[in-house]
Chains A and B, each alone.
Chain A
Amino acid sequence: MTTRFVVGYDGSTASRRALDFALERAEASGAEVLVAHILEWSPYSFLTPNELEERHMRRKEELARAESALIAPLKSELEASPVPVETTLKYGNVADTLCALAKDSGATQIFIGRKGEGGGFAARVFGSVAGTLAQCAPVPCTIVP
């Protein structure tokens, strides 16, 4: 059975560091990498009637934009990489979705970048993705500074 790592990737330098770190480890251990880009979304948010009507259209646009601006360039860049890389685009809460992905794909580790130094006020109140993952991840989770 091949080992699989899940990497949370949003195009930021922090997430790039996490990806590079995961690729290194994957190459050394012969693992595959699943790069996941999560679009933040809650099914419990409130929308106006107009937003309701246009939601399907907007979703298509958002997915297309993420694919062309983020996933496609990354795929072509990693084509030459010795590590087999797969990508996925999902909607949902970032931490929860990464956990679910790790479970469903049988991954053995999650890698994620860390943006801040210790988190500002908002992170203290609402928690950060890295903090939530550290507490809830079903598999070992590496937070790359």
Chain B
Amino acid sequence: MKSTYKSTALAASALLVSAAPALAQTIDEQVNALFASSTGWFVSFIFSPFPGTTFPWIVAWLVVAATVFTFYFGLIQFRAFPHSIALVKGDYSDPNDAGEVSHFQALATALSGTVGLGNIAGVAVAVGIGGPGATFWMILAGLMGMASKFTECTLGVKYRNEFEDGHVSGGPMYYMTKGFAERGLPAGKFLAVMFSIFCILGALGGGNMFQANQAHAQITNVVGDYPGWITGIVFAGIVFAVIVGGLKSIARVTEKVVPFMGVLYVLTAIVILLLNYDRIGWAFGQIFEGAFTGLGVAGGMVGALIQGFKRAAFSNEAGVGSAAIAHSAVRTKEPITEGFVSLLEPFIDTVVICTMTALVIIITGQLVTDPETGLYILDEAGTAIQTVDGTSGVALTSAAFSASFGWFKYVLAIAVILFAFSTMISWSYYGLKAWTFLFGEGETKELVFKIIFCIFVVIGAAASLGPVIDFSDAAIFAMAVVNIIALYVLMPIVKRELESYLTRLKSGEIRKYG
């Protein structure tokens, strides 16, 4: 009798083992198909081009805004750069305020929300499709984006809510309601609600699914292929432990390790560039030439430009409004100082880190060129450039770094997982702030959002890159649509603050400590 049980159990387990991979693949495929079909309309609306062109209106929207802010505030990102550094160093911080959130801390927290996969995988996507020229447009978008960030973070601090128990809530939804009311304008509340809805979608998309998806891609790149939902469940479990279970130790460890991973990443990139110093000039040549000719990429110059702008915006989130939520916690008498500090974010994120990734991919020769014409060769589908290993996204970055240091793919895998995780924690907070703005604060209401957030981690890891990346972009850009309208309306308020502050800085009323 016993042996019968045993053999039945054995047979059953053998059946399970053989059926598991097939079952898993079907789950992944089903999630994928369902996801693509249910979000397709939203994606095509956000990325629809101007009639008769291939230029998406949303990209123009961001770039025009960044340009307007740049000139409206008189090239503030360049004028105020040294002062921003002085603020972060604490030169202007009153020692009696020690123990409050410092400018450095607000910047570091906001950065750990933005520095992440956008810098590693996003850039690889941009360069893989738009060629080296995309890097030029990415840097330009990063420099212009500094002015957008300055505007939104100043407003975030100025119009935040301070509650009696001392905690603060701020962000675009608060400056939309309060700022519009102050100027006697209607529709502030409507914009705030729209922003909150998109912020929740963005938190679930770019702040969650994209991260889980690319973390899984990187893990499989190192350990071999296995179903995405397994990574998803593990990640969801850890995220759940932190945001629902209040397991702060994991979040704290991540917040402390992430900055070091960022520094290690940049240092490694610099070492690789130094090892290939003879090709640095050539790489910049490719970047400039590609920026204006495309060097054979799909869509030519416009293709490079779109990719560069898109990925820069997705990486540094300037104009999106998310950083305004993170920065609003700083206690400062001068909201504008937080604007100054925040303008360093797109610089560090895009102009420094993203450029490093792009340069390493270009310099290590990952993109295949035609030796005769010097133009890049497209893949079979004709949409992206052929790569040496046929990789794209995070795997392309991994291949580029591993070309010099074989072991780096393991470091990169850890970095990707940590970056993904810290970005998820940040975005779960942004999403939660939008959620509580819509539905009110309360434990049960917050728990509902947190559980939804964890479910989307699994979906993100299981879906394939295409639909996830499209939806992530669409949701985050939709936030920018609403946020930038509010920034246009409220920018005179920022200008008043800026002029008053600069006058007092000049007269010595605002002085350095120590």
A62: chain B residues within 8 A (beta carbon): 99
Structural contact, B168 and A53, CB atoms closer than 8 A: yes
Structural contact, B105 and A52, CB atoms closer than 8 A: yes
**In whole angstroms, what is the CA distance A50 to B251 when docked?**
10
**In whole angstroms, what is the CA distance A45 to B98 when docked?**
12
What are 5 of the A-B contact pairs (CB < 8 Å)? A43-B98, A43-B105, A49-B109, A49-B430, A53-B169
Structural contact, B255 and A43, CB atoms closer than 8 A: no
**In whole angstroms, what is the CA distance A91 to B167 when docked?**
19
Structural contact, A47 and B255, CB atoms closer than 8 A: yes
Q: A44-B104, A46-B256 are in contact. Are A92 and B329 (CB under 8 A)?
A: no
Distance (whole angstroms) from the CB of A126 to the closest CB of chain B: 16
Interface check A55, CB cutoff 8 A: yes
Interfacial residues, chain A to chain B (CB-CB below 8 A): 39, 41, 43-57, 59-60, 62-63, 90-92, 100
Interface check B112, CB cutoff 8 A: yes
Q: Which residue of B lies closest to A43 (CB)?
A: B102
**In whole angstroms, what is the CA distance A54 to B165 when docked?**
9
Distance (whole angstroms) from the CB of B252 to the closest CB of chain A: 7
B252: chain A residues within 8 A (beta carbon): 48
Interface check B90, CB cutoff 8 A: yes
A90: chain B residues within 8 A (beta carbon): 98
Structural contact, A60 and B255, CB atoms closer than 8 A: no
Distance (whole angstroms) from the CB of A22 to the closest CB of chain B: 24
Distance (whole angstroms) from the CB of B171 to the closest CB of chain A: 11
**In whole angstroms, what is the CA distance A60 to B166 when docked?**
8
- The 0/1 profile, CB within 8 Å of A marked 1, for residues 109-125 of chain B is 10011000000000000
**In whole angstroms, what is the CA distance A59 to B426 when docked?**
22
**In whole angstroms, what is the CA distance A100 to B108 when docked?**
27
Structural contact, A56 and B109, CB atoms closer than 8 A: no
Structural contact, A41 and B98, CB atoms closer than 8 A: yes
Interface check B93, CB cutoff 8 A: yes
**In whole angstroms, what is the CA distance A90 to B259 when docked?**
28
- Most chain B CB neighbours (cut-off 10 Å) among A39, A41, A53, A59: A53
Distance (whole angstroms) from the CB of B514 to the closest CB of chain A: 8
A51: chain B residues within 8 A (beta carbon): 248
**In whole angstroms, what is the CA distance A90 to B97 when docked?**
9
Structural contact, A56 and B166, CB atoms closer than 8 A: yes
Distance (whole angstroms) from the CB of A105 to the closest CB of chain B: 13
Structural contact, A46 and B98, CB atoms closer than 8 A: no
A44: chain B residues within 8 A (beta carbon): 102, 104-105
Structural contact, B99 and A39, CB atoms closer than 8 A: yes
Q: Which of B90, B165, B166, B326 sits near A52, CB closer than 8 Å?
A: B326
Interface check B134, CB cutoff 8 A: no
Structural contact, B105 and A100, CB atoms closer than 8 A: no
**In whole angstroms, what is the CA distance A53 to B101 when docked?**
9
Structural contact, A53 and B329, CB atoms closer than 8 A: yes
Structural contact, A46 and B329, CB atoms closer than 8 A: no
Q: Which of A43, A46, A100 sits near B259, CB closer than 8 Å?
A: A46
Structural contact, B429 and A56, CB atoms closer than 8 A: no
Structural contact, A55 and B109, CB atoms closer than 8 A: no
Structural contact, B100 and A55, CB atoms closer than 8 A: yes
Distance (whole angstroms) from the CB of A64 to the closest CB of chain B: 11
B256: chain A residues within 8 A (beta carbon): 46
- The 0/1 profile, CB within 8 Å of A marked 1, for residues 326-342 of chain B is 10011100000000000
Q: Which of B90, B99, B109, B167 sits near A48, CB closer than 8 Å?
A: B109
Taking A43-B93, A43-B102, A48-B109 as known contacts, 11 extra A-B pairs with beta carbons closer than 8 A to each other, sorted by chain A number, are: A43-B104, A44-B104, A44-B105, A46-B105, A47-B105, A49-B113, A50-B429, A53-B168, A56-B331, A91-B98, A92-B95
- Most chain B CB neighbours (cut-off 10 Å) among A47, A57, A59, A100: A47
Interface check B454, CB cutoff 8 A: no
**In whole angstroms, what is the CA distance A44 to B325 when docked?**
20
Interface residues of B in 123-164 (CB under 8 A from A): none
Interface check B106, CB cutoff 8 A: yes
Structural contact, B101 and A49, CB atoms closer than 8 A: no
Structural contact, A56 and B98, CB atoms closer than 8 A: no
Q: Which residue of B lies closest to A90 (CB)?
A: B98
**In whole angstroms, what is the CA distance A116 to B5 when docked?**
66
Interface check B425, CB cutoff 8 A: yes
Q: Which residue of A lies closest to B428 (CB)?
A: A49
Q: A54-B167, A60-B166 are in contact. Are A47 and B95 (CB under 8 A)?
A: no
**In whole angstroms, what is the CA distance A92 to B97 when docked?**
10
Structural contact, A45 and B105, CB atoms closer than 8 A: yes
Q: A41-B98, A46-B255, A47-B255 are in contact. Are A55 and B248 (CB under 8 A)?
A: no
A49: chain B residues within 8 A (beta carbon): 109, 113, 325-326, 329, 425-426, 429-430
Structural contact, A48 and B101, CB atoms closer than 8 A: no
